[in-house]
Structure 1
């Protein structure tokens, strides 16, 4: 596996990987209407371009060298809060889950903290999403619950999780 820093030209690939992942990950958890709304808002070309223009926000494509395919992506932001990196996005296409790509991407992110002064990684995960178990296996702990109005009559009902770097 190789992580490749995403560029502007990769936006359509990020959008495709997000759609493939979301349609699987959130089926039965949130409605198709909410999935489509959130993908449209969070993965528009304009929104991803803003992230790529932010020097603290990084996207990496997860590339499987064995079969020359893109398996997913990770998006994170250093300095999101004091001493804190936020893992905004980590998604794998359905057929790539359970093969170690997610664990290796999280390990990569933990190493990337050395590029900042951050000592903590935070993320949000839907309360019904089985990914919570994955994050717990990577030493993340729930520290808060939140319900966030995201517009159009939709909410995100999430756990907030954190990982603390032990120096």
Structure 2
């Protein structure tokens, strides 16, 4: 696996990978209308472009070294809170799950967080998303939960999880 720093030229690829991942991960959790709304808002060219122009926000493409194919991406923001990096996005296409890409991407993130002086990683995960089990297997714990209004009458009902980096 290789992690390649994303640039603005990668926005269409990020959008495609997000859609492919979401159609699998959220098919039983979100309505088609909510999924389309969230993808159009959270993965618009303007939204991703603004992230890429933020010095603390990073996207990396997850590439299978053997095939050269892109299997997913990770997006995170250093110094989201004091001493804390927020993992905003980590998505893999369905056919890539179970191959160690997610675990390697989180290990990569741990290194990047430590390099930048943060000591904690936080993330939100939908309460009905099986990804919670994956995060827990990697040492993340639930520290809170929240319901977040995202517009048009839709909400995100999430667990808030954290991982503390011990040096």
Structure 1, unpaired ranges of 5+: none
Provide runs of 4+ in structure 1 moved above 4 Å: none
Count of residues in Structure 1 that have an aligned counterpart in Structure 2: 167
Within 2, Cα distance between the matches of 1:143 and 1:33? 30
Q: Deviations over 1:103-138 (max 9, x none)?
A: 000000001012211000000000000000000000
Q: Deviations over 1:48-99 (max 9, x none)?
A: 0000000000000000011110000000000000000000000000000010
Structure 2, unpaired ranges of 5+: none
Give the TM-score normalised by the residue count of structure 2: 0.99
Within 2, Cα distance between the matches of 1:79 and 1:141? 20
Within 2, Cα distance between the matches of 1:77 and 1:60? 12
Q: Deviations over 1:4-51 (max 9, x none)?
A: 000000000000000000000001101011110000000000000000
Within 2, Cα distance between the matches of 1:13 and 1:50? 16
- C-alpha root-mean-square deviation of aligned residues, in Å? 0.5
SS in 1 for 2:142: strand
Q: Which residue of 2 aligns with 1:21?
A: 21
Q: Which residue of 2 aligns with 1:12?
A: 12
SS in 1 for 2:9: helix
Measured after TM superposition, the shift of residue 165 of structure 1 is: 0.8
SS in 2 for 1:29: coil
Q: Which residue of 2 aligns with 1:158?
A: 158
Give the TM-score normalised by the residue count of structure 1: 0.99
Q: Which residue of 2 aligns with 1:107?
A: 107
Within 2, Cα distance between the matches of 1:114 and 1:159? 24
Within 2, Cα distance between the matches of 1:114 and 1:120? 9
